Amino acid sequence: MKDYEIVVGLEVHAELNTDSKIYCNCKNAFGLEVNSQVCPVCMGMPGTLPTLNSKVVDYAIKMGHALNCKINRVCKQDRKNYFYPDLPKAYQISQADVPLCENGCLEFMVDGEIKKVRITRIHIEEDAGKLLHDESFAGSLVDLNRCGVPLIEIVSEPDIRSSAEAKAYLDTIKSILQYIGISDCKMQEGSIRCDVNVSVNEKGAKEFGTRSEMKNVNSFSAAVRGIEYEAKRQIEVLEAGGTVAQETRRWDDAKGVSVVMRSKEDAQDYRYFPEPDMLTIVVDEERVNKLKESLPELPNIKIKRYVSELGLSQTDAVLIAEAMDKSRLFDEAVALNMCSAKNISNWILGDISKYVNETGKTIDETELTAKNLCVLIQQIEKNVISNSAGKKVFQVIVEDGSDPLKVIEEKGLAQNSDTGFIEELVKEVLANNEKSINDYKNGKTNALGYLVGQCMKASKGKANPGLVKETVTKMLND
Amino acid sequence: MRLYEKNASELSEMLRAKQCSASELCNDVLDRINEVENEIGAFVTVDAEGAKENAARVDKAIADGEKLHPLAGIPIGIKDNISTKGMRTTCSSRMLENYVPPFDAFVADKVKSAGMTILGKMNMDEFAMGSSTETSYMHLTRNPHNTECVPGGSSGGSAAAVAAGEAVVTLGSDTGGSIRQPAALCGVVGMKPTYGSVSRYGLVAFASSLDQIGPMGRSVKDVAMVQSLICGHDPMDATSKNMEYPDYAAGLNENVQGLRIGIPKEYFGNGIDDSVKSAVMEAVKQYESNGAVIKEISLPSTEYAINTYYIIASAEASSNLARFDGVKYGYRAKDYTNLIDMYEKTRSEGFGDEVKRRIMLGTFVLSSGYFDAYYKKAKIVQKNISQEFSNAFEQCDIIATPTVPASAFKIGENIGDPIKMYYNDVCTVTVNIAGLPAISLPCGKDGKGMPMGLQLIGDKFTEQKLLNAAYAYEKMCGGFDTLAKITGEAK
């Protein structure tokens, strides 16, 4: 088999979490009673007119900035015409030739390397309703609650070369949407969906292969499976001497296959034309700049900083940066400059993650502060308390927010690192355990552990265990 | 003289002075409807009960000494493409034969809030597509001046009702001349306001970028009163202009001293009846003798106006009318095998020929491969037409033209020849293309005894100036003789 290259471009649709819909005052909410969040406008009743929710423009511009796009301060909306029962006007208001944002790029880390994907465009549009089927009724029913829910569509250039890169791209887009607070990104509610364009070509070929577009990809893991399936399918077609058809396919995640929806010849003509019910969108420069200033440090930037400046592994950096509450705690703790970033990262990804997973709380809902966390880590780093004592302190401060130093004192958790004291202690224990000394000298190394344990017991757990082990080893070998 | 014969301004005074009651007025107009409606066919729906209830409310308010809007108690008819909550709004189409809107159009709300008595809904060409009201699915409307002739269209019911005394004033809508052309053919006053001055919210869209609701009546003052009521900013219509709108009726002024009137030669060429040309030029002379300054001007892109109009209007219509698919409301075909079949049968059976013709035309001009050659080019011509008007309004205040090339034609005369029918709009479509205000005034009768129309066109948002010029002409004529003597009335 020849060596193939996979080429992927992604179109991500994200529902924005504005309070109201894009063209009317209905509530933008998921999961409410069927056809309860509707009005004549979003139901497309004759004579109704759309009026643009300016928040939608703001949110899309924020995403444009996050993806380093050029913001088109003058742009328009267009009608995309097609018939479907979940689309009451029989056209979707979208943006055709002049999107709100274009020509951007996104950098993120894959396998320790920085990957750059160009962003073609981001445009605003309205979502359609949903068809429902019920056993009690032979036909289809329609729920129009989702009609007019604002969407942004983020279109990438075909710069992605593997399913792993696609996954990292999608994860980064998702965490950025969450960071800037414009989408709930709830996959199970369909608030973020994607279309996947895949082609394959022989490595080194000058031109891309013919692409297929895959719809109905409802999760990022489905995107990974879909890309792998589709690339394999296309390679098999080529290897068998065939040609790949330009077509739209539907991903069936349950069966793990893509099936043809329509060929290029059957491609729909949406007859786009400027939406005559809407004025040109004009955004002044000040508003564009203000929105840029409002952006926080984004997760992909954080990851780069955590790896290159703070020495975290890419895996740890991603785990912290992609969760907003973790990165907030991490950044605050690092800024206090009291202990090592690596130790802070270990605590966040270890005990803290375990605690929030078990309790179902977010970090923000616990009593843990960055300051207390750093004080605790500092006490461990300074050998004032042992790691296991540190875990006990953590259990207290995460629940009630008390001062770690006080907890150490009240519980008497401080360990004794005085070398004179420890030498006396070890001497006494060794004097009473001749059998174990002989065992050790006869090669039974677990005797060492026993002797250290006896020392700890004799000190009622206060002795610095590292120092004890060091002293025991030294004395046994003398 | 019966109450139905009087103008709104006069009736408004009479109601205040308690010379008549709103109920007497309402009943007299309802009587008039009973007398002539069989012959005219202006209404799709008459709501006698609702009208009487409103009149009684107004009478009680007058008795209680409440402060009322000047138009309170004045009977009005509303074109049947303007949504009226709880009252069927059919667009004279089988598609919406039984459609009852759950909300009021902005203008319907204004009319109700003012306490006007809504008589019912007026017949029209189906979805406002037509120039004769013959494309109505409901029934024909006849011209009160000669019931063998069309009343014009698409607001034919609105115009005929005013001319026949079946309503004191009416609302129409104008996408390419649909208020002005029937006003001219029925010998009444009809104004198409500046695009953006009257909210389109609740007007069932034909061509969104051209549609505008406007008033029709038997005098300029009546039209000015209704326009003052219905104009204004509406946050529900993104194309509605947010500005201060004056009380046009209060501001009426008949002085035309120094008023510069432009006469565009392109509107007096071939295809315009000599009697129409001379009637319009006679009106222009009257202006001149009253102190106006007459200037010959040129609007060279006029020859492309009809083509441009039918491309843009049909393109938008093909999209606007796509929602009538049988899924949610309105007509649905009885027997179908699947979704596509349901769509096709519903739309084939629910729409009439003219509507289907324009949907197909509009779909074609927006299709990939044809968009640039038709729609895009039409938008360029639209810019040229607008620019030429802008330039013209640097030299003049008002432009005077015929409204229609000839007086009303016979029913059935043009219905088989769409192109001939479309050329009826040759003098009116440019105004919609450029978004300007224009008014049609009665301008004498031709040799057949049928009314002709003078069209005055103003610059954007200069309705006061336009209405003043119209008011002056009405005075010069010693008032308009707008109430038709219905032929066959004696039968």
Task: Tell me what ipTM this predicted complex has.
Answer: 0.96
Distance between start and end Cα atoms, chain B: 21
Q: What is the DSSP letter of B409?
A: P
- Rounded to two decimals, the pTM is 0.91
Q: What is the DSSP letter of B87?
A: B
Cβ–Cβ gap B201/A88 under 8 Å: no
CA distances from A354 to A358, A403, B16, B193, B490 (A): 6, 21, 81, 69, 96
Cβ–Cβ gap B237/A279 under 8 Å: no
Burial readout A30-68 (b: 16 or more C-beta within 10 A, e: otherwise): beeeeeebbbbbbbbbbbbbbbbbebbbbbbbbbbbbbe
Q: Which residues of B are catalytic?
A: 79, 154, 178
pLDDT value at position B348? 98
What is the SS3 assignment for B365? helix
pLDDT value at position A232? 96
Mean pLDDT of B43-56: 98
Query: What is the tens place of the pLDDT at every residue in B213-229?
Result: 999 999 999 999 999 99
Nearest CA-CA distance, residue B424 and chain A, Å: 25
Name which of A43, A81, A269 is nearest B319 (Cβ-Cβ): A81
pLDDT value at position A70? 98
Mean pLDDT of B115-141: 98
B103 CB within 8 Å of a chain A CB = yes
Residue whose structure tokens are 């995309």: A80
How many C-beta atoms surround the C-beta of residue A321 within 10 A?
Answer: 28
Helices (H), B231-338: 274-289, 305-320
Nearest CA-CA distance, residue B359 and chain A, Å: 13
Query: What is the tens place of the pLDDT at every residue in B67-117?
Result: 999 999 999 999 999 999 999 999 999 999 999 999 999 999 999 999 999
Q: Which domains does chain B have, with CATH numbers?
A: 1-491 (3.90.1300.10)
Q: Report the residue count for chain B.
A: 491
The span from the CA of B206 to the CA of B310, in Å, is 12
pLDDT value at position A87? 98
User: Which positions in chain B touch A273 (Cβ < 8 Å)?
Assistant: 315-316, 319, 366, 371, 375
Cβ–Cβ gap B105/A273 under 8 Å: no
pLDDT value at position B175? 98
Helices (H), A322-418: 324-336, 341-347, 353-359, 370-381, 387-400, 404-410
Cβ–Cβ gap A276/B322 under 8 Å: no
Structure tokens at B83: 């949504």
pLDDT value at position A276? 98
A142 CB within 8 Å of a chain B CB = yes
pLDDT value at position B489? 39
**Single-letter amino acid, residue A257:** V
A271 CB within 8 Å of a chain B CB = yes
User: Which positions in chain B touch A142 (Cβ < 8 Å)?
Assistant: 327
Query: Between β-strands A212-217 and A247-252, what pairing exists: parallel, antiparallel or unpaired?
Result: parallel
Tens of pLDDT along chain A (478 residues)?
789 999 999 999 999 999 999 999 999 999 999 999 999 999 999 999 999 999 999 999 999 999 999 999 999 999 999 999 999 999 999 999 999 999 999 999 998 899 999 999 999 999 999 999 888 888 889 999 999 999 999 999 999 999 999 999 999 999 999 999 999 988 888 889 999 999 999 999 999 999 999 998 988 999 999 999 999 999 999 999 999 999 999 999 999 999 999 888 778 899 999 999 999 999 999 999 999 999 999 999 999 999 999 999 999 999 999 889 999 999 999 999 999 999 999 999 999 999 999 999 999 999 999 999 999 999 999 988 888 889 999 999 999 999 999 999 888 888 888 888 888 889 989 888 888 888 888 888 788 889 888 898 888 878 888 888 889 888 888 7
Q: What is the CATH number of domain A419-477?
A: 1.10.10.410
Cis peptide before B154 (omega within 30 of 0): yes
Structure tokens at B102: 């759950």
Sign of the CA dihedral B343, B345, B350, B353? positive
Name which of B236, B327, B339 is nearest A49 (Cβ-Cβ): B236
User: For residue A135, with 0-12 CB atoms within 10 Å meaning exposed, 13-18 middle and 19 or more buried, which class applies?
Assistant: exposed
Cβ–Cβ gap A271/B319 under 8 Å: yes
Query: What is the tens place of the pLDDT at every residue in B152-171?
Result: 999 999 999 999 999 999 99
Cβ–Cβ gap A45/B368 under 8 Å: no
Cβ–Cβ gap A46/B204 under 8 Å: yes
Cβ–Cβ gap A90/B325 under 8 Å: yes
A85 CB within 8 Å of a chain B CB = yes
pLDDT value at position B487? 67
Structure tokens at A304: 């780069």
User: Which positions in chain B touch A93 (Cβ < 8 Å)?
Assistant: none
A458 CB within 8 Å of a chain B CB = no
Distance between start and end Cα atoms, chain A: 65
Cβ–Cβ gap A276/B316 under 8 Å: yes
Q: Evaluate whether B202 touches B475 at the Cβ level (below 8 Å).
A: no
Q: What is the DSSP letter of B194?
A: P
Candidates A277, A278, A281, A282, partner chain B, best to mutate (most B CBs within 10 A): A277
B236 CB within 8 Å of a chain A CB = yes
Query: Least CA distance to A268: which residue of chain B?
Result: B368
User: Which positions in chain A touch B343 (Cβ < 8 Å)?
Assistant: 83
Burial readout B339-371 (b: 16 or more C-beta within 10 A, e: otherwise): beebbebbbeebbbebbbebbebbbbbbeeeeb
pLDDT value at position A212? 95
Structure tokens at B201: 């919210």
Name which of A43, A47, A277 is nearest B83 (Cβ-Cβ): A47
A132 CB within 8 Å of a chain B CB = no
Q: Evaluate whether B43 touches B157 at the Cβ level (below 8 Å).
A: yes
Name which of A40, A46, A276 is nearest B208 (Cβ-Cβ): A276
Res B288 pLDDT > 70: yes
The span from the CA of B160 to the CA of B485, in Å, is 12
Nearest CA-CA distance, residue A237 and chain B, Å: 31
Q: What percent of chain B has pLDDT over 90?
A: 96
Q: Evaluate whether B159 touches B193 at the Cβ level (below 8 Å).
A: no
Cβ–Cβ gap A81/B322 under 8 Å: yes
Burial readout A189-210 (b: 16 or more C-beta within 10 A, e: otherwise): ebbbbbbbbbbbbeeeeeeebb
pLDDT value at position A416? 84
pLDDT value at position B491? 34
Structure tokens at A152: 């942004």
Helices (H), A199-351: 220-239, 285-293, 299-308, 314-321, 324-336, 341-347
What is the SS3 assignment for B419? helix
Cβ–Cβ gap B323/A273 under 8 Å: no
pLDDT value at position B233? 98
User: Which positions in chain B touch A81 (Cβ < 8 Å)?
Assistant: 318-319, 322, 366
Q: Which of B173, B37, B39 is nearest to B487 (CA)?
A: B39
Res B490 pLDDT > 70: no
A139 CB within 8 Å of a chain B CB = no
